Amino acid sequence: MESLKELLSEELKDLYSAEKQLLKALPKMAKNANSGELRSALEEHLEVTRGQVDRLEQVFESLGKPAKAKTCKAMQGLIEEANEIMEEDAEGALADAGIIAAAQKVEHYEMASYGTVRTWARICGENEAAELLQETLDEEGEADKKLTELAESIVNPQAESQSDGQESGSRGSKKSTKSGSKSSSKKSSRR
Ligand code: FE
Ligand code: ZN
Ligand code: FE
Ligand code: FE
Which numbered ligand comes closest to the C-alpha of 15? 2
Residues 97-106 as b or e (16 or more Cβ within 10 Å = b): bbbbebbebb
Is the pLDDT confidence value at 174 over 70? no
- Max Cα–Cα distance, the chain, nearest Å: 64
- pLDDT tens, 36-61? 999 999 999 999 999 999 999 999 99
How far apart CA 57 and CA 22 sit, in angstroms, is 16
Ligand 4 centroid to 59 CA: how many Å?
17
Q: Which residues have C-beta under 5 Å from ligand 4, the single-atom ion?
A: 110, 140, 143
Q: What is the pLDDT of residues 113-152, one digit of tens each?
A: 999 999 999 999 999 999 999 999 999 999 999 999 999 9
Specify the CATH superfamily of domain 4-160: Ferritin, core subunit, four-helix bundle (1.20.1260.10)
Predicted TM-score (pTM) of this structure: 0.85
Residue 178 has pLDDT above 90, yes or no: no
**Crossing angle between the packed helical segments 4-32 and 92-123, to the nearest 10 degrees:** 160
Torsion angle in degrees (nearest 10) through CA of 28, 29, 31, 34: 160
Ligand 1 centroid, distance to 49 Cα (angstroms)? 5
Q: Kindly tell me the sign of the dihedral angle through the C-alpha atoms of 30, 71, 48, 143.
A: positive
